[in-house]
Structure formats: C-alpha cells, structure tokens
Amino acid sequence: MATNDYIPHAPGFVDNEGPKIVSSRFGHADSFTLERYEQTGGYQAVRSVLAGSTSDAAQLVKDAVLLGRGGAGFPAGVKWGFMPPVWPRYLVVNGDESEPGTYKDRLLMERDPHQLIEGCLIACYALGLNTCFLYVRGEMAEAQERIGTALNDAYDAGYVGRDMFGTDVAIDIVLHWGAGAYIVGEETALIESLEGNRGMPRLKPPFFPAAKGLYMKPTIVNNVETLANLPWLFTNGVDAYKEYGSERSPGTRMLAVSGHVNRPGVYEVEQGVVTFRELFYGDNYCQGIRDGNDLKMFIPGGGSAPWFFEEQLDLPMEAADVGSAGSMLGSGALVVMDETTDAVKACLRIVRFFARESCGKCTPCREGTTWEEQILQRILDGNGRPEDLDLLADIGSQISPGEYPAAAHPEAGLTAVPFPPKQTTICPLGPSSVAPITSAIRRFRHEFEAAIAASPAAPESDPEQRDAVVEVSA
C-alpha cells in the first residue's frame, strides 16, 4: 500500500509504512475537496456524535487520552474539563504553526481542511458551544484559501451553521488569520490577537483560557493536529486508537524531520514507540545522515527545545522520557545537524529568532534575548571576549533562573537536567532563547572559545557606559 516515498501533492510528506490517522487522504490529489472527503468517510463521525449526548462525546476524548499536539502535550479531554459552566464559551483552533522546524499543521490544513472542520464541529458539540474561530498563520495563504473554500462548501451543504445535518444544532466556524508573529502561537497571545490586539501573552495565572480566555470567557485553544484526530477517533473508537502508540501516548504524531538527513520529511509516526535513531536512520523514515556524516546534535522538539546528541538517540519519542532526559518533544519538529555544523552559528541563528520574535511585553525577554543575540553576533564577528561566555550564562539565568534543562554529557560528567525551565518571564519564549545557548556552550564550549580566541582585539567596555547611574544630587 504505502509507497514509502514523497507524495507530489503534499510537499515533504512521506507515505511510509504505518498507521495513518490524520494523513490518510494525502495520497489523493483532491484530498481537500468536500467530494473526496465524503467519499472517504468524511462527516460521518460528526453525524453520529450529534445523535449522542454531549457529555459522552467529551468523555470519549478523555478516555482516548488524546494528547495536545501543539507542544505542551497536555491531554485535551482534561483541558476541556477545566471549563467552568459559564457561557458564552469559545473554541479557538491554533493553526499559527511557526515554531522553527515545525511543518505539519500546514499540511493538515492545506490537504485535508474538512477533516479539521469536522474535528472542530465534534469539539464544539462536546463542549456545548456554538462559536469556533479557526486561527491560521498569516503567511499560509494556501491553507487560508483551502479552509475558506471548505467552510463555504460545508456551510452550503448544511454541515456548519444552523440546522447542522438536519438537526437543531447550530455552530459557526469563523476563519481568521494572523499577520506574522511567532508569539501568537502561545495560546493567550493568540487570544489577544483574536481580540484585535497586539499578540502579547497574558499572565497565567490568573488568565487561564479555559476559565478566562477570549473576551474573558471560557475558551479552549486546541492545536490543528489535535482536532484533526477527532473524526478518526470517533469513527474508530477509543480501543482502535489506543492500539497505536504507547500506553502513555496513544495514537500517532505528525513529525517533521529536517536538516542533514537523507530524506527530510513529514512522517505520521506512532507516539512513544519509535526511537530517534529509528527515525533518523530507519529505511521507513529518514534513511540516515547525509553524505554518511556523523550526527553532531539534533533538536528533538522545535527551536525551543534543548539539544540532544548521540547519547539520546535510543530514547523512544515519549514525552516523559524526553523530558527527564533534558528536552521536549514540543511541536513534533526535529532538526538534525551533522558534524559539519558550526555550533556557534546554529546557536546564534536560533537565539536571533527568539530576539526577533520577542513581543516586548516583559523585561527579561525583551532585553535579555536581544542582548544574547548581540553578544553571540559579536563573538561570531570576531569581537568576542573571554568573559562573554559567563555573561551569556548570567543573562540566561536572569531569564531562566536555576539550572537550565539540558541533556546529559557523560564525557564531561554532566547529568541531565530535566525539562521544563524556570522563568522570570511571562511566557516561555524568553527561556526558550536560553536552550540553544546552554545546549551549545555546555557541549561545544571549545568552539565558542576558539571563536573568541580568534578575535583580533576585543573591545574594552566603554568607560562612559561604566556607571549605570550617574550621581545627580549634590
């Protein structure tokens, strides 16, 4: 059945061996049409859900242990249960995929928008609400177009809106898109953005969206892939779903593997079972490192994740195991770097991302990430100073106090520091900037020292700038 090769209509997607829960239609060139969706069993699950009770639907999601696929991996059913009995309440779909290395929600939106819409309808019904906002990343014009068309078709068919499927149920799904801001992927920032504001995160506590979200009303924010699982889950049931994946992490995940592998691609992979080594080297997956090179390091869960190395290759991709090993699976984005990679440069590139994407709301992130970038750029430009490495460490600890999560480094006698990091910031963006710095310096300090040693003449700190505050009173 499986071609074990790329599919022309779904760039990057590899139709390999294994269960296809959310990517089952990708092989069809017209997978995004209502016609194809219905021919392949679409909109049947929601029909049966509407015939049952709302609480049964919610319970099923809980029983399935459907983990959120956006990054935090929290069980969706439990999250839904946090909603107080207050109305109006809202469902917001997070399609603002922008974590470096992450590429799977876009495929799901472009290739199978009706699957997502059906997932939204099931969730709305289970949550007893009638207004859903589908927030797509601004830069994804094709996804917006496909969902727009799909929604128009679904409204026309009587599947969305009033009198859905001839019942009395009425649910609106409003397509909304952003305009270029990574931080809006954070759920409270996404809500701010949906209110027409600057996408700056709110503090949790007190603003947990399930209780005080959109317009300060109870709001569930779910990732695209999470909801895309629902039609299959409700068609096939909890037991079938749990046949895949591990006990703690049932089902599959869409993983994007990029970087220096022979076959970078998006793979639907059983959760908690496959190891990193299998993923990177297996014939069913990435088929090894390019040019037969050695692995230098890899990012297991998007730009925010601390780096892993050779020693972590045999870990199964199970959230808890990866967490205790010092990183996270995050958004299903794996970036593989071979021995030719310049650790300083890679580190700077990721730090620069966070500095550019900091929203500016809280001081440590706004000032700290920019400062980190400036120092790393200076080192790379040949103006590094020996004290810069300690300074980077201090800045890191001012953004994320305590020991920062990191993989074990047996050679240096360093044990793993478990995830997650602590933070002086409002949201995890600032602390994420510390991940590449800690990871890179801890493992490749010599590369930084070499870059600094190569510096012709490090600038002295400017005596004019020396005193932070000038005495003014006599």
Partner 1 sequence: MTATENQGTEAVTGVPFNLNGRAVHATDGELLIEACERNGVHIPRFCYHNRMKPVGMCRMCLVEVDTGRGPALQPSCMLPVTPDMQVETESEVTKQAQDGVLEFLLTNHPLDCPVCDKGGECPLQDNAYAFGPGESRFIEEKRHYEKPIPISDLVHLDRERCILCDRCTRFASEVAGDPLIHFIDRGSQTQVNTFPDHPFSSYFSGNTVQICPVGALTAAPYRFKARPWDLEAIESTSTVDATGARVVLQSSQDELVRILGLDSDAVNWSWLSDKDRFIHEANRSENRVTEPLARVDDGLQATRWGDATAKVATALQADASRIAVIGGARLSLESQYAWAKLAKGVIGTDNVDTQLADGLPAALALGLPRATIDEVCAPGGVIVLLGPDPKEELPSLSLRIRHAVIEDGATLIEITPRATSLSDLASVRLRATPGIVGQVLVAIANDQLSADVGGVAASDLQAAATLLRGERPLSVVFGRANLAESARYTADAIGAIRSIAPDASYLPALRRGNVNGALEMGLTPGFLPGGVRNSAEVGVEHWPTTPEFQGADTEGILRAAADGNIDTLILLGADPLGDVPDAVLSASAIENVSTVIAVDSFLTDSSSKADVVLPAAMFGEADGAFLNVEGRLSPLSAKVTSPGLARPDWMIAAEVSLAMGDDLGFGTLDELRQEMSAAVASLADVDWPGLSSADDGPVLRPHRNWDLEFGKPADAPPEPKSGLRLLVDRKLWDAGTMTAESPSLVGLAEPAVLRLSPSDAVGLNLVDASHVTVEQGDESYDLPFVVDESVAPRTAWLPIRLPGFDARKLLSSGGSVNSIQARIADGLTDDDAGDGGEPTAESEDTSDGGRQ
Partner 2 sequence: MSRLTAENVLLAQEIIARYPRPKSALIPLLHLAQEQDGYVAADAMEHLAELIGSTPAEVLGTCSFYEMFKREPVGRYVINVCTNISCQLNGGEELLHHAEEALGIRAGGTTDDGLFTLEDVECIAACTEAPCLQVNYRYEYRIDGGGFDRLVDDLRNNARPDIPRHGTLARDRQHIPADRLAGIASPETAGTPAWFERRQKAEAPAEERA
* Contact string 86-105 vs partner 2 (x = CB under 8 A): -xx--------xxxxxxx-x
Could you give the CA distance from residue 386 to residue 327 in angstroms, rounded to a whole number?
A: 28
Within 197-236, the residues that bind partner 1 by CB under 8 A are 198, 203, 205-206
Sorted by sequence, the CB contacts under 8 Å of residue 162 that are 6+ apart come out as 170
Residue for token pair 């808890």:
320
Helix (H, G, I), strand (E, B), or coil: what is residue 367? helix
Segment near partner 1 (CB under 8 A); pick from 49-57, 148-156, 333-341, 354-362: 354-362
Q: According to CB under 8 A, which one of 34, 122, 317, 335 is a site residue for partner 2?
A: 335
Residue 361 in contact with partner 2, rule: CB under 8 A: no
Are 103 and 302 in contact by the 8 Å Cβ rule? The answer is no
Could you give the CA distance from residue 106 to residue 225 in angstroms, rounded to a whole number?
A: 10
When CB distances are held under 5 to 8 angstroms depending on the partner's kind, the choice from partner 2, partner 1, none that residue 443 binds is none
Could you give the CA distance from residue 431 to residue 397 in angstroms, rounded to a whole number?
A: 9
Residue 445 in contact with partner 1, rule: CB under 8 A: no
Please state the closest distance from residue 465 (CB atom) to partner 1, in A.
5
Residue 111 in contact with partner 2, rule: CB under 8 A: no
Q: According to CB under 8 A, which one of 244, 357, 433, 437 is a site residue for partner 1?
A: 357
Are 429 and 183 in contact by the 8 Å Cβ rule? The answer is yes
Please state the closest distance from residue 404 (CB atom) to partner 2, in A.
19
Within 197-226, the residues that bind partner 2 by CB under 8 A are 197-200, 214-217
Please state the closest distance from residue 463 (CB atom) to partner 2, in A.
34
- Beta strand pairing call for 131-136 and 172-177: parallel
Could you give the CA distance from residue 473 to residue 458 in angstroms, rounded to a whole number?
A: 35
Q: According to CB under 8 A, which one of 16, 102, 425, 438 is a site residue for partner 1?
A: 425
Within 375-404, the residues that bind partner 1 by CB under 8 A are 375, 378, 391, 394, 397-399, 401
Residue 411 in contact with partner 1, rule: CB under 8 A: no
Please state the closest distance from residue 341 (CB atom) to partner 2, in A.
7
Residue 257 in contact with partner 2, rule: CB under 8 A: yes
Q: Of the two residues 292 and 459, which places its CB atom closer to partner 1 in the complex? A: 459
Residue 465 in contact with partner 1, rule: CB under 8 A: yes
Could you give the CA distance from residue 443 to residue 143 in angstroms, rounded to a whole number?
A: 39
Are 241 and 250 in contact by the 8 Å Cβ rule? The answer is yes
Q: According to CB under 8 A, which one of 360, 386, 410, 420 is a site residue for partner 1?
A: 360
Q: According to CB under 8 A, which one of 7, 49, 92, 129 is a site residue for partner 2?
A: 129
Could you give the CA distance from residue 301 to residue 6 in angstroms, rounded to a whole number?
A: 22
Residue 196 in contact with partner 1, rule: CB under 8 A: no
Are 376 and 473 in contact by the 8 Å Cβ rule? The answer is no
Could you give the CA distance from residue 261 to residue 187 in angstroms, rounded to a whole number?
A: 32
- Both tokens assigned to 414: 């360093």
- Both tokens assigned to 369: 């990430």
Interface size with partner 1, residues (CB under 8 A): 47
